[in-house]
Chain A
């Protein structure tokens, strides 16, 4: 936790400089090769980006949610694939362990997560269980001092890099709902754990996903997060709630970048004898983007501050994730429009962002699932 304007500004300035000098120039290369150069990965680790949210006693920075959001506003100023590499370690991959893990589990993994030596992934989604995550089928059967895992997890971010997985599996076959699910820490390399081939995706090239397959994979019974079975779904939902604010912040950052690029282009590109920024129809696109972006930034910061104050932010986190990701999609679409033909051409990078940001409306809960969460909370409050 920083809570000190001077140190926080120094941190944000350092991240901004790294983004501007190292990441932005590498954007086309990462898209072309579908890989983040090893030198950049090493620099990200050395800088401490993997430890942003790991508590200081485990070697991280222990940022508050608000501080994390401010860092993500800066990280969003470049291709989201860079964020993705440390995003699961800072977020969904490690938070279950942090929120509900035992002291032994935390001290075993958190210090290595903070340095980036271990990358964490979060494995909830399955071929037959996406939005309806509570129906997951991966089973964990107790056998002596071990659980035996069987099943397949789908679209798991950073699985090819991961050193540990937070895996949600059903320990109670009688309970087909959320109560039968437990969260496990499974180490990469455990016999019976296998990775599928890397998915080919629409965007965010350089960020990798694949299936994670469990085939009679034996893990010690002590690998259940917190040591108590049946709590895994609750852990996963708490993790995702925090993750939604993080994703909202990235959406704000990327939209800022796109709008800045679009504004610059609009002031330079001339048609009919004047800069296209002078046309009111173009101005409307710029103004709508600016206003929506401002709203999303305020929502995201507010949700983060409320969470830091200990409030229940289930509704606010979903509102911010839904609004910011939809806003980001609209801003990206307008950016392509303002760039015209150039917006459709790879050389200008705008079409790459347009593809990249499409993901934000889908993962960590689709827009429709956010609507369900928000409305359910509203109805519950009055009944």
Chain B
């Protein structure tokens, strides 16, 4: 059984304008629309395409989070995943804890490929994939924009500052998806109904025996500083002058 494991995180929808709670402990989530992290949708789309090409037999999605995360897992099942694992917890788990929990899932499921989004759009940590690869002691390729699978290796193109970099890695491996890897499909409406009948297993962190102790403490969450009004310049010379004054040129 060739399995792919895909991480799916429940995050605030990308169209929502988030507001910081007045006490500075986080952002207000009451009544806010939640969705699948967009990079995770790309990760799932890639897994589904691999399965549809016959290079995998099963796509398993997993989410670590509150009971409501099941909504996002159902969406993933409606997109085409075969099975879902929900590790239910109401506390915030930091990336290391998530990676440790995923390591336990990897040991259970034995996937030949784990695909995550390159980051979650809520915390923008971008660490889970890297941490898992290291704990699992397997190769990783982050920010993938193209993925070709061979028998025992994968050729992955990744977007770096200088351009594109292509790497070959041995499988099993961890890959994190960038924006241009693919364009996720629209869910077929009847599949939303069918997803209700697909298997979704709920586990606890205790069941997995994963160590999710906290190492980070959030000191304060604040809104970005207001942009100050710009100045209009008339000529390029003036622009150069203004930049020089600011020590930027």
Which residue from A17, A20, A43, A48 sits with its C-beta under 8 Å from B190? A48
Q: CB of B74 within 8 A of chain A? A: yes
Name the distance in Å between B64's Cβ and chain A's nearest Cβ. Answer: 19
Q: CB of A18 within 8 A of chain B? A: yes
With A4-B196, A56-B193: A10-B78 Cβ-Cβ less than 8 Å: yes
Residues of A close to B188: CB separation below 8 A: 46-48
Q: CB of B192 within 8 A of chain A? A: yes
In the bound complex, do residue B71 and residue A6 qualify as a contact, i.e. CB atoms below 8 Å apart?
yes
Name the distance in Å between B183's Cβ and chain A's nearest Cβ. Answer: 10
In the bound complex, do residue A61 and residue B193 qualify as a contact, i.e. CB atoms below 8 Å apart?
yes
With A6-B71, A6-B74: A11-B186 Cβ-Cβ less than 8 Å: no
A interface footprint on B185-198 (CB within 8 Å = 1, 0 otherwise): 01111101101100
Nearest A residue to B187 via CB reads A14
Nearest A residue to B75 via CB reads A10
A residues contacting the other copy or chain, number (CB 8 A): 24
Name the distance in Å between B151's Cβ and chain A's nearest Cβ. Answer: 32
In the bound complex, do residue A47 and residue B196 qualify as a contact, i.e. CB atoms below 8 Å apart?
no
Using a CB-CB cutoff of 8 Å, which residues 52-109 of chain A contact chain B?
52, 56, 59-61
Q: CB of B202 within 8 A of chain A? A: no
Residues of A close to B88: CB separation below 8 A: none
Residues of A close to B70: CB separation below 8 A: 6
Q: CB of B35 within 8 A of chain A? A: yes
A296–B222 Cα distance when bound, in Å, is 40
A58–B46 Cα distance when bound, in Å, is 32
Residues of A close to B33: CB separation below 8 A: 13
In the bound complex, do residue A10 and residue B186 qualify as a contact, i.e. CB atoms below 8 Å apart?
no
Q: CB of A377 within 8 A of chain B? A: no
Please report whether the interface of chain B is mostly helix, strand, loop or mixed according to DSSP.
helix
Nearest B residue to A15 via CB reads B189
Residues of B close to A10: CB separation below 8 A: 71, 74-75, 78, 187, 192, 195
Total number of residue pairs linking A and B with CB closer than 8 Å = 51
With A2-B193, A4-B196, A7-B193: A43-B75 Cβ-Cβ less than 8 Å: no
Name the distance in Å between B54's Cβ and chain A's nearest Cβ. Answer: 21
In the bound complex, do residue B189 and residue A49 qualify as a contact, i.e. CB atoms below 8 Å apart?
yes
Residues of B close to A18: CB separation below 8 A: 186
Q: CB of A51 within 8 A of chain B? A: yes
B interface footprint on A15-56 (CB within 8 Å = 1, 0 otherwise): 101101000000000000000000000010011110110001
A59–B188 Cα distance when bound, in Å, is 12
Name the distance in Å between A370's Cβ and chain B's nearest Cβ. Answer: 31
In the bound complex, do residue A51 and residue B186 qualify as a contact, i.e. CB atoms below 8 Å apart?
no
Nearest B residue to A52 via CB reads B189
Residues of A close to B193: CB separation below 8 A: 2, 7, 56, 61
A4–B74 Cα distance when bound, in Å, is 13
Nearest B residue to A10 via CB reads B192
B74, B75, B188, B192 — which one has the most chain A CB atoms within 10 A of its CB? B192
Residues of A close to B75: CB separation below 8 A: 10, 13
A61–B71 Cα distance when bound, in Å, is 19
Q: CB of A143 within 8 A of chain B? A: no
A10–B79 Cα distance when bound, in Å, is 11
Nearest B residue to A17 via CB reads B186
A52–B189 Cα distance when bound, in Å, is 8
A14, A52, A60 — which one has the most chain B CB atoms within 10 A of its CB? A14
In the bound complex, do residue A13 and residue B189 qualify as a contact, i.e. CB atoms below 8 Å apart?
no
Which residue from A11, A17, A51 sits with its C-beta under 8 Å from B192? A11
Q: CB of A9 within 8 A of chain B? A: yes
With A48-B188, A49-B189: A13-B196 Cβ-Cβ less than 8 Å: no
Can you identify 22 A-B contacts, CB atoms within 8 angstroms?
A: A6-B71, A7-B74, A7-B192, A7-B193, A7-B196, A9-B71, A10-B74, A11-B189, A11-B192, A13-B33, A13-B75, A14-B189, A14-B192, A17-B186, A46-B188, A47-B189, A48-B188, A48-B189, A49-B189, A51-B189, A56-B193, A60-B190
New contact pairs (7) apart from A7-B192, A7-B195, A46-B188, CB-CB < 8 Å: A10-B75, A13-B33, A13-B35, A13-B75, A46-B186, A51-B190, A56-B193
